Amino acid sequence: MPDPVLSSSECITLLGGGAVEAACLDLAMKHAPRVVAADGGADHALRFGVMPEAVIGDFDSITPKTRETLPEERLFPVAEQDSTDFEKCLQRLRAPLVIGVGFLGLRLDHELSVLNTLVRYSAQPCLLLGQEDVAFAAPAALDLDLAVGTRVSLFPFMPVRGESRGLEWPIRGIDFAPGGRIGTSNRATGAVRLSFEGAGMVVILPRACFGAALAGLTG
């Protein structure tokens, strides 16, 4: 792994170049006050009056005006093209949790790439906050305080098995795989507990469950 650009005892907000709402950014920064931008996410940061502590990426998306505005010591270009800007960032951040804003809900290929990166770099916990959903790579064990009827979608990016409590359709004994069985649109019957035998599962919840997801990943 590359040396970290930023190590923090506080959670970090990571801004991507996709669609960003002011409300999403405000919510993320309330819990993760330190801000880093992934390439073109720096344009969003300045648009909302936020000066990122670091900008990481191959710099093919950031506008020339934004790049000129940012102090040189806050720019961390990574020239290689074998990884995405999101991946470059997760490789170089160390924090209890990274909250990603601007990574969900724009281009499908980008979104799939981001979810793939989540499970490959699950050692750095990351919670993606979008306009409709929140998503994160499931840890080995997870407790979620969810209301009855809440949508709980489980999408495997690797073969994985697990167990559940508090789901309308329990997952015990199911062999999940990206080209096989998936678990979209399950429902909570109350508080949910999930456990998995290995890495590879992405949990997707409604945006209203941001607080529950945050508590589950940091509690």
CATH label of the domain that carries residue 20: 3.40.50.10240
Q: Give the single-character DSSP code of 176.
A: B
Residue 1 lies in a domain: no
Q: What is the mean pLDDT of residues 139-145?
A: 97
Does residue 106 surpass a pLDDT of 90?
Answer: no
Q: What is the mean pLDDT of residues 119-148?
A: 96
Q: Based on the domain organization, do 100 and 156 belong to the same domain?
A: no
The pLDDT-based confidence of 105 (bands split at 50, 70, 90) is confident
Q: Which domain holds residue 13?
A: 6-131
Q: Based on the domain organization, do 111 and 19 belong to the same domain?
A: yes
Does residue 2 surpass a pLDDT of 90?
Answer: no
142-165: b or e for each residue (b if 16 or more CB lie within 10 Å)? bbbbbeeebebbbbbbeebbbbbe
Query: Which of 35, 41, 86, 88 shows the shortest CA–CA distance to 63?
Result: 41
Q: Based on the domain organization, do 106 and 75 belong to the same domain?
A: yes
Q: Indicate whether this model's pTM tops 0.85.
A: yes
Task: Give pLDDT, residue 81.
Answer: 78
Does residue 107 surpass a pLDDT of 90?
Answer: no
Distances in Å between the Cα of 142 and the Cα atoms of 116, 117, 197 are 20, 20, 12
